[in-house]
Amino acid sequence: MSPRLPSRAPLTRPKARDPKARARIRSICVYCGSSSRGPKSHREAAIRFGQRLAAAGVELVYGGGHVGLMGLMADAALSAGGRVTGVIPEDLIKAEVGHGRVTRLVVTKSMHARKMAMFKRSDAFVVLPGGPGTLDEFFEVLTWRQLRFHDKPIILVESAGYWRSLLELIDWIIRNGYARASFRRLFKVVESVDDVLPALRAAPRPRLRARPKRL
């Protein structure tokens, strides 16, 4: 009589991700201006958003400066007991614009290394009013999403119509055939910083594995 072979365990397939699963947001990268010369409402919104993040237990990841909207936001988050990670190139540290009181300050060799470090540390991206640097950061992370290097949520805060012309430009690009209509769905627009966290809680959980090595 031949020996009885042990029965094999049934093959199991990995569970498919639930398309209705919501994003889990533990840290948010915020792009915003390094100037305080803008409208008072923008400064108030930056402060309020820093407070909101601290109250929600969400870590703020930002450009590491103590000036402008970014400095006001970081100070507000810290004063409210929040965790703040600043990421800044060493050249800006030498220019003495680095924030000295953040929870953690990451100093990088270059601007690109700074963007990569912010990307890796964040579950979502939020854009407040800002200038050319803010636009550069917004379009870069947006293009990375378009290329399917990630699908982390991106929120544009339309504070008092500040980004209206930008949105019109994006629509103009689409109408002229240089981007697909689906480009507009790569980010969400909200009217106030108070709408950001609810929008992120309702966002689908990212299904792509971020591939920073390809960036």
Domain at 27-202: CATH architecture: 3-Layer(aba) Sandwich (3.40)
Answer for the pair 118, 87: CB distance below 8 angstroms, yes or no: yes
- In the numeric block, the tokens 């960036």 are attached to 215
Angle, helices 68-79 vs 40-56, to 10°: value is: 40
Structural contact between residues 171 and 153, judged by C-beta atoms closer than 8 angstroms: no
Written as tens digits, the pLDDT of the chain (215 aa) is: 444 544 444 433 434 445 556 668 999 999 999 999 999 999 999 999 999 999 999 999 999 999 999 999 999 999 999 999 999 999 888 776 788 899 999 999 999 999 999 999 999 999 999 999 999 999 999 999 999 999 999 999 998 899 999 999 999 999 999 999 999 999 999 999 999 999 999 998 888 776 666 66
Taking CB atoms within 8 Å and a gap of at least 24, the contacts of 19-23 are 19/204, 19/207, 20/204, 21/204, 21/205, 22/201, 22/202, 22/203, 22/204, 22/205, 23/123, 23/124, 23/152, 23/153, 23/200, 23/201, 23/203, 23/204, 23/205, 23/206
The structure's pTM equals: 0.87
Taking the mean position of all CA atoms in its chain, how far away is CA 140?
A: 11
